Amino acid sequence: MSHSLATHPDRLLPADPGTRSIARSLLGRVQDLPIISPHGHVDAAVIEQNTPFPDPAALLVTPDHYVTRLIHASGVPLEKLQPQAGARSIWRSFCAAWPLFDGTASGYWLRTQFESVFGWQGELSAETADASFDAISTKLAEPGFRPRELFKDFNIEVLATTDDPLDSLDSHAALAADPSFHGRVLPTFRPDAYINIAHPAWAANVDRLIAEASDGGTGYRGYLTALENRRRYFVDHGAVSADHGVRTPATLKLDQAEAEALFDKARAGLATALDRDAFEAHMMYQMARMSVEDGLVMTIHPGSFRNHHQPTFEAFGADTGHDIPFAVNYTEAVRPLLQDFGTAKDFHLVLFTLDETVFSRELAPLAGFYPSVYIGAPWWFLDAPDAMLRFRSAVTETAGFSRSSGFIDDTRAFCSIPARHDASRRIEASFLARLVAEHRISEDRAHELIVDVVDSSPRRVFKL
Amino acid sequence: MSHSLATHPDRLLPADPGTRSIARSLLGRVQDLPIISPHGHVDAAVIEQNTPFPDPAALLVTPDHYVTRLIHASGVPLEKLQPQAGARSIWRSFCAAWPLFDGTASGYWLRTQFESVFGWQGELSAETADASFDAISTKLAEPGFRPRELFKDFNIEVLATTDDPLDSLDSHAALAADPSFHGRVLPTFRPDAYINIAHPAWAANVDRLIAEASDGGTGYRGYLTALENRRRYFVDHGAVSADHGVRTPATLKLDQAEAEALFDKARAGLATALDRDAFEAHMMYQMARMSVEDGLVMTIHPGSFRNHHQPTFEAFGADTGHDIPFAVNYTEAVRPLLQDFGTAKDFHLVLFTLDETVFSRELAPLAGFYPSVYIGAPWWFLDAPDAMLRFRSAVTETAGFSRSSGFIDDTRAFCSIPARHDASRRIEASFLARLVAEHRISEDRAHELIVDVVDSSPRRVFKL
Amino acid sequence: MSHSLATHPDRLLPADPGTRSIARSLLGRVQDLPIISPHGHVDAAVIEQNTPFPDPAALLVTPDHYVTRLIHASGVPLEKLQPQAGARSIWRSFCAAWPLFDGTASGYWLRTQFESVFGWQGELSAETADASFDAISTKLAEPGFRPRELFKDFNIEVLATTDDPLDSLDSHAALAADPSFHGRVLPTFRPDAYINIAHPAWAANVDRLIAEASDGGTGYRGYLTALENRRRYFVDHGAVSADHGVRTPATLKLDQAEAEALFDKARAGLATALDRDAFEAHMMYQMARMSVEDGLVMTIHPGSFRNHHQPTFEAFGADTGHDIPFAVNYTEAVRPLLQDFGTAKDFHLVLFTLDETVFSRELAPLAGFYPSVYIGAPWWFLDAPDAMLRFRSAVTETAGFSRSSGFIDDTRAFCSIPARHDASRRIEASFLARLVAEHRISEDRAHELIVDVVDSSPRRVFKL
């Protein structure tokens, strides 16, 4: 092959020559549009301080649980992928495992980064581990590979981070105030650890929250006031959304007295599992109420069994590759919330899923009626080429193109952002090209739609 | 493009040229066959009285909750789509929202109607709203656009309606007796509002039913007798099926005393939610028993959460676009019924679903064993091109082509019937063409199969 | 068409010419590799004794519930497909029903057998029933159609059977000791009838098990010892895996006293349905513990409602075509087992499903983290061309190619084995060819991967 996989102009496009030709033309329409990333996990401080990335392993392997999980599955203990194992040793483990990534989304993004960001043209293997480590390390030491320079090279216009409600947001403020930085780095309000009573730090978090932000209020009322105040603080610092990583999509409207009683019981350490579920569900209702008031887009990410393997959690902590999805049901779960806020003015509620079955069965029908509801882009294990095509096929015939969120990269791997958005654009072009080839939409209209899906949708849905 | 989308001969056919060519040939085999519509919601009186359709909005927008729901999702209040908003104003709202329908099944059907039925060649838009309204209005005033003339033009051979058990069926009788009308318009027995205790009119309906049709019987026994009598009345008026819009597919065999006790409790207004579920499940068993006796094909449509948004229901009533599907399980649910009637002679039970996951997991295995069970065609949100292809792929490898119902349009939008059946035939041709191209069936056999699927299946399954 | 369907070199390959050409080349790489069949239901005695197959009906129809079920669905009573109906009569029923199998996996396998194994070139039909019966009967009488000769012709290297824990394994021993037989026929430990308290023979089985193999131990401890001893006996006779056909994938760790109490309660005939579920779940935990100790690969096949139609079960027994799948959830169910054994050295756990939704949602994420977990190949109703493609699409983007089991034919239909493996190889080639055509993997790499998937995976996963 004359082209490498990573730079082939037709990568991810459909094989049928006629459809591919349409897809190429559609892709051309959006390939150079700026990146809008309304939800992800990059650390704002890294951009503000423009800290050089330390080494290839710390940049590309250790923090990415998509990557470490598959190496672990092949029999490499997680110890060998921890920072203390040493960057070069980790990189060797990764390179030896590289063939496992064929056909995976992570493999696709990594391959693209190696070549497009770091200029590494060779294959990765145990044999080339040291050479590739050195080559990428050399690049990382160059001034052009600092976060702010990459931010510009990557053509990122908006990058949302995910932040603790009590975060000072100093980095965000500094970036906003810096005339030399032209991107927008926006905080996102993520109160899980203040809402989920099962979180080990819940009680301490709530104490701090009330102490710092309740305007002197106490108990449940003080708690709500403090959440409202911190949301306002986020809004003042440019936040456009509040994100909720909940176990299930359940929502529940409790009256003031019931909610207060649950809250007090939980602070006394007496909440049962059912109490915790009820309180979390009720707080989703409250978060929607606050979103209606302060305008923050509400996003919900349910359905992952966190820290599935207890021994791994105890040894290595959370986010180490063993969060496993399970079946969810949205239709009954979000009804209490939608009864009161489903048609509220300017309320935006973006529903994500790791359970593909709800796309056609529940999310497209919900978003095809409620003005507030948007279908979250395929997330986590599903933001991959085939899965994204299945998503479009599952939702479009019911909800059209106007009711989905636009691509969400949801990543902490900063250098993968362009590869992820590029892959998404190729898949949108592929899907639309098929509809054109099947005479379901006109080619002219497809050219409008791809711009809408790639660029206008995230701006509209996330109020950017 | 030289062809409009609506009339392109290859619309919906697969892009691969070789496969498309096979599909074209298969489509040619069935394109002119008459329409068999064994389940739908057209009003027989409209055909009997041959009432002119009033205006484009009343014909194409207000009664079609597929259409109003997506306009509503875009932020247009339902008030603006109600008849009292005025036909031209509704039409303008619809035209402004028209781009939202790209890629949807409704959009496909509407576009086909505009051009093929009403001869409107232009695009629809806010700018052309008045022109298109006037053009279609003019057509509707022409004698050739009366229901009976369209019935003939559409090449409809059989059209089943959906009717209240106490309906006089006068329109059906009049049409059957009219030597100038050559179609068959058949009633369908739909007793939901007499079976579902949660229905607001259940008690009153049951009173009326017993008063009018129980041959003097009272209580539960009178109730069963009355249902049997009214089914017989429907059979005598040409009905071939009884349809059941239930919450879940649960079935249950209660003994006479238990059923009687539940019935009496419900009439006393004391039934709990569990009682209602048990009674409905038991009545599905009874309906199967009656179908075995009187030969009516039994069809079940479960799994929709009706009237999801209470405020909309209160303001605008049922069938206003916020019925949302949820997960169903058939395997255990229909077992009580199938224990006793699964192999009963000439019993036909057609199982529909809004939850695609049961196609390969449950419905194809059930229909591939039980002689009574047929897989209902993709329904409601699923009667769309991609969803219909997924359906065929999901069921055929287990159940072949002989165990599904044939296409069901299930529509109240009379003028969409040809577009819907045409789309279905194109998808059947596409699916079969792929099997031919992959050397899984011969082209000769595919020509037989497409006739079987389009024409023979609905006749056989619905005893037409 | 110049080629018959059964021998067309491009059968099952994708229609797009460019992709097909890649697929052809990939298929060529594996088409002549030996068959590895690590799980199935052929009787070892048939091979050991080299008994001639009696007649076409006994070979191809009566024992194959894939086949009889669809004939039954068409209205033929099962009596007519029982041996006592007579071979020729059964064959006539089958031939008359043959058109029902178009598009099914069974139809594909049968067609291939008729032509490739028995040299029957014509179509099957009521008219040709006697001719085909006679032609195949003639072949079956030839020495070359004895089981051992076919074993060699089919190029089978390894064939695993499924065996009762108390089976003597004499046939396996005889085959292993026979210098004239060059294949490997391996037993598989299948203890369902000794673990599932609901099994009608459970109590008697447990009595026999303890009497024969507990080294004098009694009660629950004796039971565990006896299971361990019999597993060891299987290992000594070449077994590589233990298979578990459970209702659900639930696992549970009980302490010794709890387990003992349940066991005693069950032997006293007092176990409730909940007790039975708990005991089965606990025994899955114990089976995993034993697998960690003795090295047998653990395979789990859950999610089938066995003997769905009670009257058919009473008349014809189990495995008569009315086992119907239902929804399963693996994420929470296997957690207790994986807590303790998920990262155990050399433990292999292969998880199968009849519910496709768990492939992307649960199995790929689990197998992409736990070194012990492998994704079972599409099973039963899902080992069909489209379903196998859906499987690869669902799991590969998360788990790559290294985490699945390789093809499992799971068949009792000996003569269908080559057709099934051939179909699987064609689908693997089709899937990989698409990834090459979409520039997601290189063609060179695809050539390695198809060998890995077809040949190395089953050897590695099943420790062959």
Question: Which among B123, B106, B64 is positioned nearest to B385, based on CA atoms?
Answer: B106
Q: CB under 8 Å to B23, separation ≥6 — which residues? A: B13, B14, B426, B429, B430, B432, B433
* Residues C251 and C334: beta-carbon distance below 8 Å: yes
- Chain A contacts in chain C segment 301-360 (CB below 8 A): 327, 329, 331-332, 335, 338-339, 342-343, 357, 360
Share of chain A above pLDDT 90, in %: 97
**What pLDDT digit, counting tens, does each position of A404-423 carry?**
999 999 999 999 999 999 99
Chain B residues with CB-CB distance to A371 below 8 A: 72-75
Which subunits sit against B, judged by 3+ Cβ pairs under 8 A? Answer: A, C
Question: Which among C346, B460, C437 is positioned nearest to A17, based on CA atoms?
Answer: C437
Chain C residues with CB-CB distance to A105 below 8 A: 397-398
Q: Which of B343, B368, B442 sits opposite C69 (nearest CB)?
A: B368
CB contact under 8 A, C305 and B18: no
* Amino acid, single-letter form, for residue A137: S
Banded pLDDT at A123 (limits 50, 70, 90): confident
Instruction: State the average pLDDT for chain C.
Output: 97
- Chain C contacts in chain A segment 277-306 (CB below 8 A): 305
Q: Chain B residue closest to A444 (CA)? A: B1
CB contact under 8 A, A104 and C398: yes
- Give pLDDT, residue C1: 41
Q: B385-399 and A385-399 helices cross at what angle (nearest 10)?
A: 120
**What pLDDT digit, counting tens, does each position of A378-397 carry?**
999 999 999 999 999 999 99
Residue of A115, A308, A424 best to disrupt the C interface, most CBs of C under 10 A = A308
Chain B touched by C5 (CB under 8 Å): yes
CB contact under 8 A, A5 and C332: no
Spatial separation of the C-alpha atoms in residues B257 and B251, rounded to whole Å: 17
* Residues A430 and A389: beta-carbon distance below 8 Å: yes
**What pLDDT digit, counting tens, does each position of A408-461 carry?**
999 999 999 999 999 999 999 999 999 999 999 999 999 999 999 999 999 999
- Give pLDDT, residue A5: 87
How many Cβ atoms from other residues are within 10 Å of residue C80's Cβ? Answer: 17
Write the ipTM. 0.97
Q: CB pairs under 8 A, 24+ apart, for B304-311?
A: B304/B245, B304/B354, B304/B380, B305/A331, B305/A332, B305/A335, B306/B247, B308/A331, B308/A335, B308/A338, B308/A366, B308/A369, B309/A338, B309/A339, B309/A342, B309/A343, B309/A369, B309/A370, B310/A339, B311/A339, B311/A343
Q: Which helix (H) or strand (E) holds A271?
A: none
DSSP SS3 for A349: strand
Question: Which among B52, B63, B53, B56 is positioned nearest to B124, based on CA atoms?
Answer: B56
| % helix, strand, coil for chain C, step of 5 | 55, 5, 40
Question: Which among C62, C56, C49 is positioned nearest to C132, based on CA atoms?
Answer: C56
Which subunits sit against C, judged by 3+ Cβ pairs under 8 A? Answer: A, B
CB contact under 8 A, A339 and B101: no
Beta strands, E only, A153-232: 156-160, 184-186
The residue written with tokens 């070549």 in the block is: A115
Spatial separation of the C-alpha atoms in residues C69 and B146, rounded to whole Å: 49
pLDDT at C123 over 90: no
Which subunits sit against A, judged by 3+ Cβ pairs under 8 A? Answer: B, C
* Residues B412 and B41: beta-carbon distance below 8 Å: yes
Q: Chain A residue closest to C21 (CA)? A: A15
Spatial separation of the C-alpha atoms in residues B5 and A236, rounded to whole Å: 48
- Give pLDDT, residue B3: 64
Spatial separation of the C-alpha atoms in residues B442 and B118, rounded to whole Å: 39
Q: Which helix (H) or strand (E) holds C201?
A: none
Spatial separation of the C-alpha atoms in residues B321 and B71, rounded to whole Å: 10
How long a stretch of residues is chain A?
464
B35-37, strands of its sheet edge to edge: B35-37, B156-160, B184-186
State the Cα angle at A346 between A341 and A348, rounded to 5°. Answer: 70
Spatial separation of the C-alpha atoms in residues C16 and A17, rounded to whole Å: 9
Question: Which among C285, C303, C287 is positioned nearest to C357, based on CA atoms?
Answer: C303
Beta strands, E only, A53-186: 156-160, 184-186
Q: CB under 8 Å to B73, separation ≥6 — which residues? A: A367, A368, A369, A370, A371, A373, A399, A402, A403, B100
DSSP SS3 for C80: helix
- Give pLDDT, residue C3: 64
Q: C256-267 and C219-236 helices cross at what angle (nearest 10)?
A: 90
* Residues C394 and C400: beta-carbon distance below 8 Å: no
CB contact under 8 A, C104 and B332: no
Parallel, antiparallel or unpaired: strands A324-325 and A304-305: antiparallel
Chain B touched by A364 (CB under 8 Å): yes
**What pLDDT digit, counting tens, does each position of A172-188 carry?**
999 999 999 999 999 99
Q: Which of A8, A322, A326 sits opposite C362 (nearest CB)?
A: A326
How many Cβ atoms from other residues are within 10 Å of residue C269's Cβ? Answer: 8
Alpha helices by DSSP H, listed for C331-442, are 335-341, 357-358, 364-367, 385-399, 417-437
- Give pLDDT, residue C2: 47
Spatial separation of the C-alpha atoms in residues B420 and B33, rounded to whole Å: 14
C228 to chain A, closest Cα gap in Å: 27
Question: Which among A456, A397, A371 is positioned nearest to B76, based on CA atoms?
Answer: A371
Cα separation of the two ends of chain A: 42
**What pLDDT digit, counting tens, does each position of C86-107 carry?**
999 999 999 999 999 999 999 9
* Amino acid, single-letter form, for residue B18: G
* Residues B346 and B295: beta-carbon distance below 8 Å: yes
* Residues C431 and C392: beta-carbon distance below 8 Å: yes
Output phi, psi for C306, to 5 deg: -75, 140
- Taken in order A253, A257, A258, A262, the sign of the CA dihedral is positive
CB contact under 8 A, B15 and A437: yes
Share of chain A above pLDDT 70, in %: 99
The residue written with tokens 């499992």 in the block is: C408
The residue written with tokens 């295995």 in the block is: B365
- Give pLDDT, residue A2: 47
CB contact under 8 A, A305 and C332: yes
The residue written with tokens 């179909």 in the block is: C423
Question: Which among B375, B377, B383 is positioned nearest to B399, based on CA atoms?
Answer: B375
- Taken in order A331, A332, A337, A338, the sign of the CA dihedral is positive
- Give pLDDT, residue A3: 64
Spatial separation of the C-alpha atoms in residues B224 and B214, rounded to whole Å: 8
Q: CB under 8 Å to C253, separation ≥6 — which residues? A: C282, C285, C336, C337, C339, C340
- Counting DSSP H helices and E strands in chain A, the numbers are 22, 9
Spatial separation of the C-alpha atoms in residues C340 and C342, rounded to whole Å: 6
Residues facing A244 on adjacent strands: A300
CB contact under 8 A, C438 and A385: yes
Q: In angstroms, what CA-CA distances link B73 with A342, A367, B114?
A: 10, 7, 23
Q: Residue-wise pLDDT tens for chain B (464 aa)?
A: 446 888 899 999 999 999 999 999 999 999 999 999 999 999 999 999 999 999 999 999 999 999 999 999 999 999 999 999 999 999 999 999 999 999 999 999 999 999 999 999 888 999 999 999 999 999 999 999 999 999 999 999 999 999 999 999 999 999 999 999 999 999 999 999 999 999 999 999 999 999 999 999 999 999 999 999 999 999 999 999 999 999 999 999 999 999 999 999 999 999 999 999 999 999 999 999 999 999 999 999 999 999 999 999 999 999 999 999 999 999 999 999 999 999 999 999 999 999 999 999 999 999 999 999 999 999 999 999 999 999 999 999 999 999 999 999 999 899 999 999 999 999 999 999 999 999 999 999 999 999 999 999 999 999 99
CB contact under 8 A, B396 and C103: yes
Spatial separation of the C-alpha atoms in residues A354 and C313, rounded to whole Å: 39
CB contact under 8 A, A369 and B322: yes
Spatial separation of the C-alpha atoms in residues C135 and B196, rounded to whole Å: 59
Chain B residues with CB-CB distance to A250 below 8 A: none
B307 to chain A, closest Cα gap in Å: 11
CB contact under 8 A, A362 and B3: no
pLDDT at A119 over 70: yes
**What pLDDT digit, counting tens, does each position of A203-241 carry?**
999 999 999 999 999 999 999 999 999 999 999 999 999
Spatial separation of the C-alpha atoms in residues C171 and C168, rounded to whole Å: 8
